[in-house]
Structure 1
Amino acid sequence: MAGAAVAALLEMVDYGLRPSLEIYNSIIHAYAGNGNFDDAMFFLKEMKEIGLEPETDTYDGLIKAYGQYKMYDEISTCLKMMESDGCPPDHFTYNLLIREFSHGGLLQKMERVHRIVISKQMNLQPNSLVAMVEAYANFGILDKMEKVYRKVANSISLKEDTVRKLAEVYIKNLMYSRLDDLGIDLSSRSGRDDLVWCLRLLSHACLLSRKGMDSVIREMDEAKASWNVTIANIILLAYLKMKDFKHLRSLLSQLQSHRVRPDITTIGILIDAIERGFDGSETLETWRKMGLLHRAVELKTDSLVLAAFGKGHFLRDCEAIYTSLEPEARDKKRWTYHILIDLVTRHKAKQ
């Protein structure tokens, strides 16, 4: 892109035409975006020498590129250059600064620019608020995260990664009811997808509210939403934690009718339940006859579920045994559920 813009510039010069600000901006932004800041500054200097005054858009492109390459000191230098050139930052520049400092985790700089925007009564763009939410979530700063999230909740659809970051902070702070609120907010803007059902069901499961779980399941039935292994495992984990073996057994027997294929988390739930006194021999035998235990190990459960409930004894034992093996031994095996169950059983027998 920079080459094409430079060619256009030279062609204009050959024809005796005065190059436009747009041409120079294209060249400067292209070079900066590719990390060629010396060339970008050369053309910035050249445009000034021919009497073209840079605009905020000229510097905004540089700031964005500096942020892309995590050159935050250069951003400060660029701001000083703007001021000296009589081109003070406008609300686009300040919003850009908030986003770049947010992405870099520079919370103090981000908050300082945010205060400037507020004091100058400038427009604060929704994507700048989202960037602030993500920055606070990354650092686990709950109160500030929630304060900014409330400002943006009704104005923009959050990306799934952002929603997950919020959920992780709520889980870490044991604020499980917020997961249901987050799921409802998300569904109002983007519809009821798998993540929505996961958040809402996980909220009630972590609170060990059978009534709440049943309510969400009814909503899923009414919406004709398909089950997946994440949904099944959330409910199973709640039953396991409540030591409700009656409902645990019932749901295990219904997995096939729900078209849910157990993963390593499901296997772990069953083995952990057996350790707590649950008679799971019939389920294990059924899965053996189905050929499930000889399938390659899969982890299909949403990571938020494991963050909320933990991995359980079986999964932790599997990880410990696996990491204790030599690299060649790990690579040679075709890891199946049967092999893992056998390894864990023999390991415990030795202990």
Structure 2
Amino acid sequence: MAVIEKKKGSTRLFPGTVLEALHERIAALRWESALKVFELLREQLWYRPNSAIYVKLIVMLGKCKQPEKAQSLFQAMIDEGCIVNQESYTALLSAYSRSGLFRKAFSLLDEMRSTPNCHPDVYTYSILIKSCLHFHEFDKVQSLLSEMVSQGVKPNTVTYNTLIDAYGKAKRFVDMESTLVEMLRQRECKPDVWTMNSTLRAFGGSGQIETMEKCYEKFLSAGIQPNIKTFNILLDSYGKTGNYKKMSAVMEYMQKYHFSWSLVTYNIVIDAFGRAGDLNQMEFLFRLMQSESIKPNCVTLCSLVRGYAQAGKAEKIRGLLRYIESSDVTVDTVFFNCLVDAYGMMGCLAEMKELTT
């Protein structure tokens, strides 16, 4: 794990090596291993308590849904004499809220307001709002927004984007639109491509294509430039509603203006043409994907299987299985279940039996 220096019978870790090992584990969210490395770190003669390391560990533990361990580290940080500030409080509050422990999170928020130099800022509130939205605690969200106003803390673009995205996913379109209107009123908060993508995804995903298109035009006229995610949202929305001409138009636009396709883009269009029964286009896109050295995944393969099954092309599925055997593509249970469903749809009972035995 680390380079070891032995001196007079003792074992001592070099600072740079052990810190690198710690940060690697934090970045990979390997919380158990990270805590073990941190314990080794604390045993070293050269160790000095560092608030930044504690905060990174607490944030990691929050992401890994380990709020109790995050609380223990927070207390250890205090015991070691580290300065506790707004950042460290926010890290612990995030750990609580990510696990849905809102009573503790709100209690900590109260504590922050009464602690000098630890007052919650827009980042603190945005984190708590995001967690509340994740757990559909919409009443708490409104309470937090009102509190922000009373505390003189202004929402920023990230806050508004978080609200718009969550309301859209929950199909709370009235709340989403009112949030967008409020955002536009704030001179400091300009909508960006994230705002656009969340709005388009909400309307497109619910089949409101005309509204999606109007919003797209408004965002463009406001000077917001689309990115690859924007086009993926448009492609997916058109594909799932059977608007294949419009989907093809988006594909042509992307080609014309040199937007490189991602794996997600290919998966969307392959699935759409497969559902439409256009196997020639589906297969062409699959070959194009391979020619661009984009490795297919299980989503790609399932879309191909469903397209072939819908067209009753059992021999095509067998050819796809031969391709998988000769490639380094890893398949999972989802793919095998898709395969079973496909053979069942075509009445290929022998193949079904072979897969399930």
TM beyond 0.5: yes
CA contact (8 A) 1:264 1:297 kept: no
CA deviation string 1:254-299 (max 9, x = no partner): xxxxxx9x9334437xxxxxxxxxxxxxxxxxx9xxxx4996999x
Distance in 1, matches of 2:317 and 2:233, equals 37
CA-based RMSD of the aligned residues comes to 4.7
Aligned to 1:80: 146
Aligned to 1:167: 238
| Match status 1:184 vs 2:252 | yes
CA contact (8 A) 1:25 1:58 kept: yes
Distance in 2, matches of 1:35 and 1:105, equals 21
* Cα distance change, pair 44–165 in 1 and its aligned pair in 2 (3 A): same
Distance in 2, matches of 1:195 and 1:66, equals 32
**Alignment match of 1:100 (pick from 150, 161, 166):** 166
SS in 2 for 1:92: helix
SS in 2 for 1:267: coil
Supply the AA of the counterpart residue of 1:135.
A
Supply the AA of the counterpart residue of 2:114.
E
| Match status 1:27 vs 2:92 | yes
| Match status 1:156 vs 2:197 | no
CA deviation string 1:156-187 (max 9, x = no partner): 1127873453223552xxx4421211212444
Deviation at 1:118, TM superposition (A): 1.7
* Cα distance change, pair 62–16 in 1 and its aligned pair in 2 (3 A): same
Aligned to 1:143: 210
Where structure 1 has 5 or more consecutive residues not aligned to the other structure, the ranges are 207-212, 229-259, 269-286, 299-314, 323-329, 337-351
Distance in 2, matches of 1:106 and 1:18, equals 42
Distance in 2, matches of 1:57 and 1:149, equals 29
Distance in 1, matches of 2:203 and 2:135, equals 21
SS in 1 for 2:176: helix
CA contact (8 A) 1:56 1:88 kept: yes
CA contact (8 A) 2:236 2:269 kept: no
* Cα distance change, pair 180–3 in 1 and its aligned pair in 2 (3 A): same
Deviates more, 1:139-148 or 1:150-159: 150-159
Distance in 2, matches of 1:8 and 1:46, equals 18
CA contact (8 A) 1:98 1:132 kept: yes
Supply the AA of the counterpart residue of 1:125.
D
CA contact (8 A) 2:112 2:119 kept: yes
Deviation at 1:34, TM superposition (A): 0.9
* Cα distance change, pair 200–186 in 1 and its aligned pair in 2 (3 A): farther
Aligned to 2:57: none
Deviation at 1:115, TM superposition (A): 1.1
User: TM-score, with normalisation over the residues of structure 2?
Assistant: 0.54
Higher relative contact order (CA 8 A, sep 6+): 1
Aligned to 1:133: 200
CA deviation string 1:290-313 (max 9, x = no partner): xx4996999xxxxxxxxxxxxxxx
| Match status 1:48 vs 2:113 | yes
Where structure 2 has 5 or more consecutive residues not aligned to the other structure, the ranges are 1-60, 62-66, 297-304, 322-340, 353-357
SS in 1 for 2:143: helix
Distance in 1, matches of 2:319 and 2:244, equals 33
Deviates more, 1:156-165 or 1:74-83: 156-165
Supply the AA of the counterpart residue of 2:233.
T
CA deviation string 1:84-139 (max 9, x = no partner): 22223233222221112112111111111111222223211212211111110122
Aligned to 1:264: 309
User: TM-score, with normalisation over the residues of structure 1?
Assistant: 0.55
Distance in 1, matches of 2:161 and 2:71, equals 30
Aligned to 2:36: none
CA contact (8 A) 1:136 1:142 kept: yes
Q: Map 1:155-304 onto structure 2 (within 5 A).
A: 155-158=226-229, 162-168=233-239, 170-171=241-242, 175-187=243-255, 188-191=258-261, 194=266, 263-267=308-312, 292=315
Supply the AA of the counterpart residue of 1:130.
N
